[in-house]
Structure 1
Amino acid sequence: MRWSRKDRRESPTSAEGSPAGPDRHGGRAAMRVVLSTTVQAHTFDVARELQRRGWLAALFTGYPRSRMAAKGLSGPEVRCFPIPVLAGMLMNRLVRSQRFALRTEAWPKVLFDRWVARRLPECDLFLATSSVGLASGRAAKARGAFWVCDRPCSHILTQNRLLDEEYRLHGLRWPGISRAIVERELAEYREADAVLVASSFAERSFVREHGFPAERLWKVPYGIDLSRFHPDGEPDPAFFDVLFVGQLSFQKGVPYLLEAFDRLEVPNKRLTLVGAEQPGIDRYLAPFRDRPDVRVAGVLPQEGVRGEMSRAHVLVLPSVQDGFGMVTAQAMACGCPVVVTENCGSADLVLGPQVGRVVPARDSQVLANALKELAQSPPDRAAVRAAASQAGGWDQFVDRLTGRCVETLGREACPC
């Protein structure tokens, strides 16, 4: 027997299908959880923790099975359907047209969503990344599961607005998010039992800007995997090394970082940019490519990123719009101080000058000043790592998420 909205007084079911009593996770009874996503983001970290507990009923993913095994996820719970995503990517490469990309952006998500809906196992909690959970979320909800729409960014209309503004500032035309994707997401926001966000910035975009009911908006900060991110080197005291990790794009605020670094009056400064270059950004990168104090490193494996974070004096995430910014927590776990913008969800982690600075978005001078302050008075790296540890791991994220589900269904009626 399971516990669900249909019968909250029934006993929960273990992963093996037998009645489950309280387990070692804070005395909470086992919960069967299904995850669905076509992107990586944080979902795979959540899946690993759920699988460790025996709570993962299924992980539906758009990645191939070989890629999932490389990420430490295998077994019958991992169900892969990469065909729609790969087909969409191939078509966009063959037909290089923004108009075509917008017209076809939704169909891989629709196909994946329908595929999940037809194969959905019994579960208590269905957590689907936004834009791929409409049909499957409805199916899960009809069968008594609690449907949570997982939105890694700000509200989709806020994201669209901020990026449109940003592109206009650079004299470019933002193609926008396809109307079909926007309509799917807005329907998911309306119909899901709850919408999950990870930060105060994302929360404000829903509740304040768009009037979303606060009781249906769950803010649960992401965890940090301290076994994967930890000090792996030391900064060179002869230099001041500034690091950026992420997509080299307008959304991530890379032009403002380049301008701030140019203005930065610190001897022996160096800038390392790690990540894939996005369309349009080259005109800002071009003047810096041949400079001896700037290195465009491209995409690095996790071990390489950890090393860069450990050796950097500061990581900067100058995002115009960022629902969280996992690299901030990862850098802090490596002992690296951070500078992020107010439009970056991981600003929630920067609780004081002992960790780093929070600056306004789109202000390169304030960003340059913050970097200079950190160069002159660097925070204690052990204190930065301690702050990351206090933010909690993925086990605590799962506890908080399932706890919100239990609380919503009713404390008095749930056997947890």
Structure 2
Amino acid sequence: MRITLATIGSFHIFPLARELERLGVLERVYSGFPWSRLRREGVSRDKVRTFPFVRPFVMGLRLLPFDVPEVVADSIHEFSLVTLDHFVARSLPDGDVYVGHEGAGLVSGAEAQRRGMLYVCDRGCTHMAWREELLQAEHDRLGLPPRRRPNTYEREIEEYDRADLIVVPSEFARASFIEKGVSEDKLAVVPYGVDLQRFHPVGRPADVGFQIVFVGYLSVRKGAGDLLTAFKLANIPGKRLLLIGQIEPDVMMLYADLLNRDDVTTVGHVPNAMLKAHLGESHVFCLPSLEEGQALVVCEAMACGCAPVVTANTGATSIVHDGANGYVVPIRAPEDIAAHFERLAADRELRDRLGAAALASVRELGGWSAYGGGAVAAYRRALARRAAGRRTDSTPAPRENRVGVH
């Protein structure tokens, strides 16, 4: 079997590429990043093909001293996906399987199918339409302006239709596709791994105080309001909330009073070495997201021995078992989150037991090697179904025939 991958950045695709190369089945991996950003990923240089002419501009938008209008940022993002997609289509090597990361596989996927290859759409989140409906409902609930539909919306929906197989990281994500009418036979769940060399216990929490940590883009989608409200409600002497990552403007507007507290600290982006130290010194990790595919940071926190409090919508219920190695709460339930904070703050033995169980659970996953093996197994099953003539999905012609933003 020969497998080619494509992604606009690195994401989980490069850990997958590393494992596929180890298994001897990686033909090539494409990225919109320059090689200088990819050399640390552990994939041989001769296996990597880069198209670093647009994506760096997208990344550079974050460094500007002003906010770029959403419509501009989204258009540049879409253009980076479309141009990479066409570049891959023009230079795609022959093989058996082509895996296009969400948004970057429409034209290249069609080219792969024309050559008789299996086209796999790799989607890291829930179904695009399902996600947008959920987030729009949340915007309505919070009194925010209507969400602007991403430029890539129609493109991704067409990728789902065209693909021979759609791979998602959790049963939660899979259920969203089924709810939107995608055949179960077209879906495969392959949970992500975690790099246990990068993430492992470092230090331990202080004996005094109680630190809660959040990692990621603090946004409406990530349940920012529920986290901040739960922290306010929790009756814990010496409590602290550490926010690692950027903060969405809507969140800053809605929850300014909850963010501007003396016991809330924001530190922005931090490197992995510092991140694992922050996780190791925290008493509990919290991610109350409304929607994820499978949040990698949950496994990273668990690998550092930090007990998690998460929603089922993080896609982490295959690894976080309520009451055994963490807690799982419903979305929009800050009171439940606060109660778990108080329980953990009051019972060090419980906290230590859950943290140890969380670490053990992640170690049992097998790191990224299990993810690579699971992905290959899913591709083989799809190839076997096709060979046996059991595939019933139609293969529509792509509507997009030119490079550009539409």
Q: Give TM-score scaled by structure 2 length.
A: 0.88
For residue 378 of structure 1, give the secondary structure of its aligned residue in structure 2: helix
Q: Is the contact between residue 15 and residue 41 of structure 2 (CA under 8 Å) also seen in structure 1?
A: no
Equivalent position to 1:258, from 211, 218, 228: 228
Moved more, 288-297 or 358-367: 288-297
- Counterpart amino acid of residue 343 in structure 2: E
Give how far 1:410 is off: 2.5
Q: Is the contact between residue 342 and residue 358 of structure 1 (CA under 8 Å) also seen in structure 2?
A: yes
Question: Aligned pair 1:152/2:103, yes or no?
Answer: no
Q: Residue 298 of structure 1 corresponds to which residue in structure 2?
A: 268
Residues 94-123 of structure 1, C-alpha deviations (whole Å, 9 max, x = no match):
994334445555322111100011111122
- Cα gap change, 1:102 to 1:80, in 2 (>3 Å): closer
Q: Partners in 1 of 2:268 and 2:257 — Cα distance?
A: 17
Q: Residue 18 of structure 2 corresponds to which residue in structure 1?
A: 48
Q: Partners in 1 of 2:106 and 2:119 — Cα distance?
A: 10
Q: Residue 403 of structure 1 corresponds to which residue in structure 2?
A: 377
Moved more, 181-190 or 255-264: 181-190
- Counterpart amino acid of residue 399 in structure 1: G
Q: Residue 234 of structure 1 corresponds to which residue in structure 2?
A: 204
Q: Residue 173 of structure 1 corresponds to which residue in structure 2?
A: 145
Q: Partners in 2 of 1:127 and 1:84 — Cα distance?
A: 21
Q: For residues 18-33 of structure 1, what are the structure 2 equivalents within 5 Å?
A: 31-33=1-3
Q: Is the contact between residue 288 and residue 331 of structure 2 (CA under 8 Å) also seen in structure 1?
A: yes
Q: Partners in 2 of 1:411 and 1:146 — Cα distance?
A: 11
Moved more, 217-226 or 348-357: 348-357
Q: Is the contact between residue 28 and residue 49 of structure 2 (CA under 8 Å) also seen in structure 1?
A: yes
- Counterpart amino acid of residue 245 in structure 2: G
Question: Aligned pair 1:130/2:102, yes or no?
Answer: yes
Q: Is the contact between residue 109 and residue 132 of structure 1 (CA under 8 Å) also seen in structure 2?
A: yes
Q: Is the contact between residue 355 and residue 379 of structure 1 (CA under 8 Å) also seen in structure 2?
A: no
For residue 286 of structure 2, give the secondary structure of its aligned residue in structure 1: strand
For residue 228 of structure 1, give the secondary structure of its aligned residue in structure 2: coil
Question: Aligned pair 1:187/2:158, yes or no?
Answer: yes
Q: Is the contact between residue 170 and residue 189 of structure 2 (CA under 8 Å) also seen in structure 1?
A: yes
Equivalent position to 1:201, from 135, 156, 172: 172
Question: Aligned pair 1:336/2:286, yes or no?
Answer: no
Q: Is the contact between residue 238 and residue 268 of structure 1 (CA under 8 Å) also seen in structure 2?
A: yes
Q: Partners in 1 of 2:266 and 2:296 — Cα distance?
A: 20
Q: Partners in 1 of 2:341 and 2:141 — Cα distance?
A: 24
Q: Partners in 2 of 1:193 and 1:412 — Cα distance?
A: 9
- Counterpart amino acid of residue 264 in structure 1: A
Q: Residue 351 of structure 2 corresponds to which residue in structure 1?
A: 378
For residue 241 of structure 2, give the secondary structure of its aligned residue in structure 1: strand
Q: Is the contact between residue 301 and residue 307 of structure 2 (CA under 8 Å) also seen in structure 1?
A: yes
Q: Residue 277 of structure 1 corresponds to which residue in structure 2?
A: 247
- Counterpart amino acid of residue 389 in structure 1: R
Q: Residue 109 of structure 1 corresponds to which residue in structure 2?
A: 81
Unaligned runs of 5+ in 2: 389-406
Unaligned runs of 5+ in 1: 1-30
- Cα gap change, 1:298 to 1:91, in 2 (>3 Å): closer
Q: Residue 121 of structure 1 corresponds to which residue in structure 2?
A: 93
Q: Is the contact between residue 354 and residue 379 of structure 1 (CA under 8 Å) also seen in structure 2?
A: no
Give how far 1:247 is off: 0.6
Q: Is the contact between residue 356 and residue 379 of structure 1 (CA under 8 Å) also seen in structure 2?
A: no
Q: Is the contact between residue 220 and residue 397 of structure 1 (CA under 8 Å) also seen in structure 2?
A: yes
Q: Partners in 2 of 1:313 and 1:89 — Cα distance?
A: 33
Q: Is the contact between residue 256 and residue 362 of structure 1 (CA under 8 Å) also seen in structure 2?
A: yes
- Counterpart amino acid of residue 250 in structure 2: G
For residue 204 of structure 1, give the secondary structure of its aligned residue in structure 2: helix
- Cα gap change, 1:101 to 1:50, in 2 (>3 Å): same
Residues 346-388 of structure 1, C-alpha deviations (whole Å, 9 max, x = no match):
1221123121111111111111112222223325132221111
Moved more, 394-403 or 87-96: 87-96
Q: For residues 29-108 of structure 1, what are the structure 2 equivalents within 5 Å?
A: 31-87=1-57, 96-102=68-74, 105-108=77-80
- Cα gap change, 1:262 to 1:95, in 2 (>3 Å): closer
- Counterpart amino acid of residue 55 in structure 1: V
Q: Partners in 2 of 1:90 and 1:390 — Cα distance?
A: 38
Give how far 1:401 is off: 1.2
- Counterpart amino acid of residue 119 in structure 1: S
Q: For residues 288-327 of structure 1, what are the structure 2 equivalents within 5 Å?
A: 288-327=258-297
Give how far 1:300 is off: 0.4
Residues 161-200 of structure 1, C-alpha deviations (whole Å, 9 max, x = no match):
111122222221243333x512111111111110011111
Q: Partners in 2 of 1:248 and 1:72 — Cα distance?
A: 30
Give how far 1:70 is off: 3.5
**Paired residues, number:** 382
For residue 281 of structure 1, give the secondary structure of its aligned residue in structure 2: helix
For residue 100 of structure 2, give the secondary structure of its aligned residue in structure 1: strand
For residue 4 of structure 2, give the secondary structure of its aligned residue in structure 1: strand
Give how far 1:287 is off: 2.6
Residues 215-269 of structure 1, C-alpha deviations (whole Å, 9 max, x = no match):
1110111112111111011111212111100111111111210110000012221
Residues 61-85 of structure 1, C-alpha deviations (whole Å, 9 max, x = no match):
1111111114444512111112122
- Counterpart amino acid of residue 358 in structure 1: V
Question: Aligned pair 1:143/2:115, yes or no?
Answer: yes
Structure 1 vs Structure 2 CA RMSD: 2.3
Give how far 1:304 is off: 0.9
Moved more, 260-269 or 365-374: 365-374
Quote the sequence identity (%). 37
